[in-house]
Structure 1
Amino acid sequence: MARMHTRRRGSSGSDRPVADDPPEWSDVEPDAIEERVLELADQGYDPSQIGMKLRDEGVKGVPVPDVKLATGKKLTEILEENDADPEFPEDLRNLMERAVRLRKHMQENPQDHSNKRALQNTEAKIRRLANYYRGDKLDDDFKYKHENAVEMLEE
């Protein structure tokens, strides 16, 4: 499969091993994991950062390699159940932050044509992703505009 905005092929990555049960060495209670997830969410961590913290630091010193195997629920499901989910999906928010940074760079460096193209590609990805999330995680009338993105990210 090719990359979205180039003619090159994508790079393949490694797959996680197939597992049905959490490993024996990680015997943390699901309730303790959910408490830690909510604690990290209150501290302002994104879902991907919470997953890495659980993998590296764990709960009470015991690492949690896979939240879904340990609890039976995805990390985002845990956040949604407890009304701690972020306002915007993490991937959309990251793209909007990147677009705001690129737009600021373009205002300071108007002759930077490669970054102008990167800004166009990033905004195209944002619009495509907004169409995917519209109605489910975004309002029906959500429309990406740079000015709106700056306001949303400042909140």
Structure 2
Amino acid sequence: MARMHTRRRGSSGSDRPAADEPPEWSDVDEDAIEERVVELAEDGHSSSVIGQKLRDEGVQGTPVPDVKLATGKKITEILEENDADPEFPEDLRNLMERAVRLREHMDENPGDHQNKRALQNTQSKIRRMVDYYRGDEIDQDFTYSYDTAVELLD
């Protein structure tokens, strides 16, 4: 499938091996994993960073290669159950951070036409994503603007 704002195709990534149960060497208790997920979320980490930390650092010194295989729930489901989920979805928040960075760059470098186009594309993605999440994850009357993005990210 082609990329959204170019005529090029995307590069395919590698697939995880199909597995039905966690590996034998990773025998961490489900409750310990859930406690660590909530603890990392309270420290301000996003769900993708939480997954990386569990993979690299693990729980009590034992790595957790896949939280869903170990607990039967995704990281976002664990966060929702424990009322530790973020107010905005992670992908929307990342796009807003990118748009704010690009806007600050454009204020300093008004002649940078490539990044002006990148800012337009990013804002377009944000508006489409807001329409997707409107009503479920975010308020019905939310509209994106640079000022609201800066306010939400602070």
- Give yes or no for TM over 0.5: yes
| Displacement after TM superposition at 1:42 (Å) | 1.2
Alpha-carbon deviations, 1:52-96, whole Å to 9, x = none?
Answer: 000001000100000000000000000001110011111100100
Query: Aligned letter for 2:46?
Result: D
* Amino acid of the structure 2 residue aligned with 1:12: S
- Which residue does the alignment assign to 2:72? 72
Question: What does 1:10-49 correspond to in 2, within 5 Å?
Answer: 10-49=10-49
| Aligned position for 1:9 | 9
Deviation at 1:30, TM superposition (A): 0.4
| Alignment match, 1:63 | 63
Distance 2:29 2:65 in 1: 13
- Runs of 5+ unmatched residues, structure 1: none
Residues 16-57 of structure 1: CA distance to partner in whole angstroms, max 9, x if unpaired?
Answer: 011110111100110000001011111111110000000001
Q: Distance in 2 between matches of 1:87 and 1:113?
A: 33
For 2:66 and 2:130, the matched residues in 1 are separated by: 28
Distance in 2 (CA, whole Å) between partners of 1:149 and 1:102 is: 12
* Matched residue SS, 1:102: helix
Kindly provide the amino acid, as one letter, of the partner of residue 55 in structure 1.
Answer: R
Residue type at the aligned position of 1:105: H
Partner residue in 1 for 2:121: 121
What is the alpha-carbon root mean square deviation over aligned residues? 0.6
Give the number of aligned pairs.
154
Give the 4+ runs in structure 1 shifted more than 3 A.
Answer: none
Gaps of 5+ in 2: none
> SS of 1:55's equivalent?
helix
Give the Cα–Cα distance (whole angstroms) in 1 for the partners of residues 70 and 131 of structure 2.
Answer: 33
* Equivalent position amino acid for 1:120 in 2: Q
Equivalences for residues 133-144 of structure 1 within 5 A: 133-144=133-144
How far apart are residue 131 of structure 1 and its match?
A: 1.0
In structure 2, distance between residues paired with 1:82 and 1:22: 23
Identity %: 78
